[in-house]
Amino acid sequence: MALEDAKTQIDHAFTRDDLKGPSFENVFAGAASFLRRRYTKDLTGVDIAVTGLPFDQAVTNRPGTRLGPRAIREASLLQPCDAPYGWGYDVLSEFAIADYGDMAFDYAQPSEVPERIEAHVAGILDQGAACVALGGDHSVTLGCLRAHAAQCGPMSVIQFDAHTDTWADDDPARVDHGTFLYKAVQEGLVDPERSVQIGIRTENPDTLGFRIFDARDVQALGPLAVAEQAREIVAGRPVYLTFDIDALDPAFAPGTGTPVWGGLTSQQAAVMLRALAGIEMVGGDVVEVSPPFDHAGITAIAAAHVATDLCCLWGWTRR
């Protein structure tokens, strides 16, 4: 069946007439929407909308994550013909997923971007769909958190990252990928006592009360044990999951702005994401993919799998 479909399917991003089901379009051809889902701004009947936030003017080191959403979409074309591995159900067949395209903004007005992100994501949520965002640098998460908190109140956060991103910043005009979580706590969007950071391996003395499992903890305790404790911490709470691709060791994700050695392996991350099944996830993102520093699409492929697993996590409790 797949071989026959491959002969006729092309540009499913525009031509598919069903929001559900696999796609057998040739990987190397056609329009590159996320997982070959339909591009649309009409989210009627859509369960999950995937959108790009191509902003990278808040980085402290190497830029390039504005190209992340495009690279992640292209890398995702390796996946849409099969059910995601290890989940026990096919999110592509059971839920309607659409590609909402990227957010428009004026690159010369970076201070306006957080508000634009908040409005963009709110526009998705207001249509009744969940949002999975593709960054962009990690500053984009603040707007996402604001939009989600407006609907569900203060949330728990599960953050995969090499950095805590809780550096103090009391200047509302600054846009910084290393301070977004500090601002989120100060604004009451996030409950740090019921939140978890995984993969941390940089020094920041002010943890704001977040429960941290650093990269050494994951190695020592094992990914399943860390995921189990994370589930307990966020149990009964709405959860936003943000995955900075630099949580992975540079060997598994070289294409990022601030790589730090001694990080998670792809296998550890995959095990933990699957073992988090059952959390009350309301939204999520994968950020900091910088294609100019990538090799053979390694980082984008990892991010595409993360984004797919975020869809699976959201769907797990709603099947």
pTM (2 decimals)?
0.96
pLDDT-derived band of residue 116, with 50, 70 and 90 as boundaries?
Answer: very high
Instruction: Supply the pLDDT for residue 316.
Output: 97
pLDDT-derived band of residue 32, with 50, 70 and 90 as boundaries?
Answer: very high
DSSP-based three-state secondary structure for 159:
strand
Q: Who has greater pLDDT, 10 or 120?
A: 120
User: Nearest to residue 127, comparing CAs of 100, 95, 92, 154?
Assistant: 100
Give Cβ neighbours of residue 207 (< 8 Å, ≥ 6 apart): 164, 166, 192
Q: Is the pLDDT of residue 3 over 90?
A: no
Neighbours of 136 (CB within 10 A): 31
Characterize 79-94 residue by residue with b for buried, 16 or more Cβ atoms within 10 angstroms of its Cβ, and e for exposed.
bbbebbeebeebbbee
Alpha carbon of 173 to those of 183, 215, 260, 288: distances in Å? Answer: 11, 33, 28, 22
Q: Where are the beta strands (DSSP E) in the chain?
A: 38-39, 48-53, 97-102, 130-135, 156-160, 196-200, 211-214, 238-244, 280-287
User: Nearest to residue 128, comparing CAs of 282, 5, 3, 311?
Assistant: 282
Instruction: Supply the pLDDT for residue 2.
Output: 66
Say which amino acid occupies 36. R
Instruction: Supply the pLDDT for residue 1.
Output: 52
Mean pLDDT of 305-317: 98
Q: Where are the beta strands (DSSP E) in 19-172?
A: 38-39, 48-53, 97-102, 130-135, 156-160
**Edge-to-edge strand list for the sheet holding 48-53:** 38-39, 97-102, 48-53, 130-135, 280-287, 238-244, 156-160, 196-200, 211-214
Q: Are 139 and 58 in contact (CB under 8 A)?
A: yes
- Compute CA 227 distance to the chain's CA centroid, rounded to the nearest angstrom: 17
Instruction: Supply the pLDDT for residue 208.
Output: 93
* Backbone φ/ψ region at 268: left (φ over 0), alpha (ψ -120 to 50), beta: alpha
250: domain CATH number is 3.40.800.10
The tens digit of pLDDT for each residue in 38-92 reads: 999 999 999 999 999 999 998 998 999 999 999 999 999 999 999 999 999 999 9
Please tell me the total count of domains within the chain: 1
User: Nearest to residue 196, comparing CAs of 230, 220, 148?
Assistant: 230
* Backbone φ/ψ region at 205: left (φ over 0), alpha (ψ -120 to 50), beta: alpha
Q: Who has greater pLDDT, 54 or 9?
A: 54
The tens digit of pLDDT for each residue in 138-153 reads: 999 999 999 999 999 9
Encoding tokens for residue 193? Answer: 């006592």
- What is the average pLDDT score of the chain? 95
Q: Is the pLDDT of residue 12 over 70?
A: yes
Query: Quick one: the chain helix, strand, coil %, rounded to 5?
Result: 40, 15, 45
Give Cβ neighbours of residue 64 (< 8 Å, ≥ 6 apart): 56, 255, 257, 290, 291, 292, 293
Q: Is the pLDDT of residue 97 over 90?
A: yes
Encoding tokens for residue 121? Answer: 């994501």
Instruction: Supply the pLDDT for residue 175.
Output: 77
Q: What angle do CA 68, 280, 164 make, to 5 degrees?
A: 50
Instruction: Supply the pLDDT for residue 145.
Output: 98
Q: Are 259 and 217 in contact (CB under 8 A)?
A: no
Instruction: Supply the pLDDT for residue 55.
Output: 94
Instruction: Supply the pLDDT for residue 134.
Output: 98
- How many angstroms separate the CA atoms of 130 and 34, rounded? 15
Instruction: Supply the pLDDT for residue 176.
Output: 77
Instruction: Supply the pLDDT for residue 47.
Output: 98
Q: Which domain holds residue 169?
A: 2-316
